[in-house]
Amino acid sequence: MPVLMLALAACGGDTAAPRIPAAPSPAPPVVATAAPSPQVAVTGLPDFSALVTAWGPAVVNVATIVRHDTGEAGPPGIGPGDPLYDFFRRFGFGPPRGPQPPIARGEGSGFLVSADGYLLTNAHVVDGAREVTVRMTDRREYAARVVGVDERTDIAVLKIDATGLPHVRVGDPGTLRPGQWVVAIGSPFGFENSVTAGIVSATARSLPGDAYTPFIQTDVAVNPGNSGGPLFNLRGEVIGINSQIYSRTGGYQGVSFAIPIDLAMTVKEQLVANGRVERGRIGVTIQEVDQALADSFGLSRPHGALISQVERGGPAEQAGLKAGDVILAVDGRALERSGEVPALIAAVKPGAESVLTVWRGKSERRIAVRVGALEDEPKIAASRQSGDPDTGRLGLAVRPLTGRERAQLDTEGRLVVEAVDGPAEQAGVQPGDVLLAVNGVAVATLAEFRSAVGAGGATVALLIQRGDAEIYVPVRVGS
């Protein structure tokens, strides 16, 4: 059976000649000020030409230059200029085959949200970029500054030094309904200002690894290079940012996802003001409520989010929440699925109070929770991406545990296995295992881990904690 893969509609490669950083004498800007309603064609289908004419000038091409160290690891057989390079790199596909070129070019899309040069795009479009150039539809070019990046929502804010620029109007994605027409403008494969249209397939979609974004699903054709471009409603308002596709091939197959613009604008405001995004958390682990669970808890139908674990000493425990409670609503907003909870809680300012409607003992009750702050967990590159010769030969990606994770796991260990392949996978090491010692030597830091592995022989014995058990796993060191 073919395996589905989630592919970023990432910035495509660019092998053209170097770009000019900025146009020497900018022409007077054309400001889009109206949003004509789409005309209805003879066939009965909408004509989007007036919308595109009015708002197309606010959509830009985002060109990046990334400088790589020649020893940097990359996906096997795929260079940094390839449209799918970012997807494979983010998911850690194997060591490099041959040296990586020192400079790579990429392209994506973006759109202006203010006349003074602020624009939005996807974080993965500018990931690692040393130089960013924005090209307008009239071929003017500007050097862009990255104001801020929020990887949790895949949002980046850029700024160009210009005024009187055309910019979009922001709509309300909450008014979207499945079946409504939407229009995307972007630069798929570098073909600038390309227009595609389709319908809303679903709203508030949850995707693996994106707990904080309730995606808009559409069937609009989105391809590498469309990332960061706007999704318009028929009133000419931006209601989303095209971000991801779901595909067996890495190309468009009728399922596309956009980040709601209200979420993106909230992130933008915080990045511009503070350089970072604050999010709330309450310290619970939740799961979906299916029919069997609904029956056992006495719910009339499957809905809400079942609390399976409460963090000791966390905001939820202090407020009186318990494992087995079913969250039915957050601040009066009813929940259908558990995936809606993280985004709703994250939107609450740390220190503020959120009122949860919960189902306990076959009756509803309201519990006020003082929301805590979601920490930015440290990101440690997988060893197979970092080029480390010792950990790479084990096939282990290891990172430090946060204090919250250590409390949840009730462990004295300080390192956790994030991903495995090769020898470690063959030996039975699993993601989530807590690493305690290597060849009898306790390891608490990445440096100690590398040192212990380097001092070992052809086989190293890893002491790991899995659940309540501690076991030794011998791993043969790869060549």
Catalytic positions, please?
124, 154, 227
Q: What is the 3-state secondary structure (H, E, C) of the chain?
A: CCCCEEEECCCEECCCCCCCCCCCCCCCCCCCCCCCCCEECCCCCEECHHHHHHHHHHEEEEEEEEECCCCCCCCCCCCCCCCCHHHHHHCCCCCCCCCCCCEEEEEEEEEECCCCCEEEEEHHHCCCCCEEEEECCCCCEEEEEEEEEECCCCEEEEEECCCCCCCCEECCHHHCCCCCEEEEEECHHHCCCEEEEEEEEEEEEEECCEEEEEEEEECCCCCCCCCCCEEECCCCEEEEEEEEEEECCCCCCCCEEEEEHHHHHHHHHHHHHHCCCCCEECCEEEEECCHHHHHHHCCCCCCCEEEEEECCCCHHHHHCCCCCCEEEEECCEECCCCCHHHHHHHCCCCCCEEEEEEEECCEEEEEEEECEECCCCCCCCCHHHHCCHHHHHHCEEEEECCHHHHHHHCCCCCEEEEEECHHHHHHCCCCCCEEEEECCEECCCHHHHHHHHHHCCCEEEEEEEECCEEEEEEEECCC
Contact 7, 142 (CB under 8 A): no
